[in-house]
Amino acid sequence: MKLEILIATNGFKGTWDSIEYGAWLAETLETSVTLLGVTEDVNLAEADDDHHPLEDLFAEAVQVFQRRGLAYRLEIQTGNLEECLPKKAQAGNYLTVVGPLGRPPLRRLLTGRSIRHLLEQINTPILYVPECKLPLKKALICIGGLGHEVTAEHIAMQMALKSKAEITLLHIVPPMDLDYPTTRAVRENWQNLPQSDTLVGKSLKHTLEIAQADGLTAQVKTRRGNIVEEILAELKESQYDLLSMGSAYSGTALRQLYAPNVTAEITESARLPVLTARYKKSDERPEG
């Protein structure tokens, strides 16, 4: 079933980049878009007696949708976006696009950042857009090697293919305390994993072959060390326009690569669009 794009805003001006990116994504994936506006009490202070910030964003968004020739729906709810959006996202086959919501520093300190909450609550793919990095020229796809990243990986590869973007497949070899034969093999071959007989190596090689067969310019990179630090270091060293990660709930030696807190830490720190999707055993290559 084809994914639809769900864009969310609470009227905060900082969400415009996510609206613009979501419109581009809907056109790229040849799908429809739903713009969800949530009227919150926090925004009432910014509103005139007869005017609400959502009105301006909706008006500009409609112009963008029409200019791109998109089929679109507009929806307004009243409440808290962190509560309204997960319910809406899971009511359809959506890829949710959201940006910074402009929460006060004290609220972020007491309750945590909104994106962390949304990552925990939304089971379907989610794309966080702190900045609109277009055109898409280079994408970084994190590969865990256990198949947990397949949903996000497939969506990112579709985006890259239709944008003629280059992709880098990144695997981080984390510190390993246990000395099992499999972990030892990964540790000893971490610099040339695609040529190794390890599970991770086979996965990297297979994904690389798929990307190249689809006509993508692709390469594999491996790094060794703390997962979060190494991903952020790679982002700093190269100018990527998109980061793709998976999210898994399993008791494996590499589960920390895609544990929700790691995904959230990367998403909070990175200044580029971050695509993530939870792993499901029934995952199949989604239609674009």
| Last-in-domain residue among 105, 128, 151 | 128
Q: Rounded to two decimals, what is the model's pTM? A: 0.86
pLDDT at 192: 76
| Last-in-domain residue among 92, 108, 128 | 128
| Last-in-domain residue among 102, 128, 154 | 128
Euclidean distance between CA atoms 23 and 62, whole angstroms: 10
Q: Are residues 261 and 181 in the same domain?
A: yes
Query: Regarding predicted confidence, which is higher, 205 or 242?
Result: 242
- Per mean pLDDT, which of 61-75, 167-181, 189-203, 248-262 is the most reliable? 61-75
Q: Are residues 164 and 189 in the same domain?
A: yes
Whether residue 287 lies inside any domain: the answer is no
pLDDT at 238: 93
Euclidean distance between CA atoms 216 and 137, whole angstroms: 11
Q: Are residues 42 and 122 in the same domain?
A: yes
pLDDT at 195: 73
Q: Are residues 36 and 158 in the same domain?
A: no
pLDDT at 145: 55
For 79, the domain range is 4-128
pLDDT at 252: 42
pLDDT at 204: 84
pLDDT at 13: 92
Number of domains into which the chain is organized? 2
Euclidean distance between CA atoms 109 and 44, whole angstroms: 22
Summarize pLDDT for 194-241 with one digit per residue, the tens. Answer: 777 777 778 888 889 999 999 999 999 989 888 899 999 999 999 999
Whether residue 285 lies inside any domain: the answer is no
Query: Regarding predicted confidence, which is higher, 214 or 253?
Result: 214
Euclidean distance between CA atoms 84 and 118, whole angstroms: 10
In the predicted structure, residue 102 carries a pLDDT above the cut 70: yes
Across residues 8-12, what is the average pLDDT?
A: 95
The answer to whether the bond into 104 is cis (omega within 30° of 0) is: no
CATH of the domain at 100: 3.40.50.620
pLDDT at 21: 98
Write out the DSSP string of the chain. Answer: ---EEEEEE-S-GGGHHHHHHHHHHHHHTT--EEEEEEE-HHHHTTSBTTB-HHHHHHHHHHHHHHHTT--EEEEEEES-HHHHHHHHHTTTTEEEEE------HHHHHHH--HHHHHHHH--S-EEE-SS---S--EEEEE--SSSTTHHHHHHHHHHHHHHT-EEEEEEEE-------HHHHHHHHTGGGGGGSSSHHHHHHHHHHHHHHHTT--EEEEEEES-HHHHHHHHHHHS--SEEEEEE----STTGGGG-HHHHHHHHHH-SS-EEEEE--TT------
Whether residue 43 lies inside any domain: the answer is yes
For helices 227-237 and 260-269, the axis angle rounded to 10 degrees is 30
Summarize pLDDT for 110-120 with one digit per residue, the tens. Answer: 666 789 889 88
Whether residue 284 lies inside any domain: the answer is no
Q: Are residues 15 and 96 in the same domain?
A: yes
Summarize pLDDT for 19-70 with one digit per residue, the tens. Answer: 999 999 999 999 999 999 999 874 444 455 566 789 999 999 999 999 999 9
Whether residue 288 lies inside any domain: the answer is no
Summarize pLDDT for 126-170 with one digit per residue, the tens. Answer: 999 999 999 999 999 998 755 556 888 899 999 999 999 999 999
Q: Are residues 175 and 47 in the same domain?
A: no
Q: Are residues 164 and 121 in the same domain?
A: no
Q: Are residues 49 and 123 in the same domain?
A: yes
Q: Which two tokens stand for residue 210?
A: 């798929």
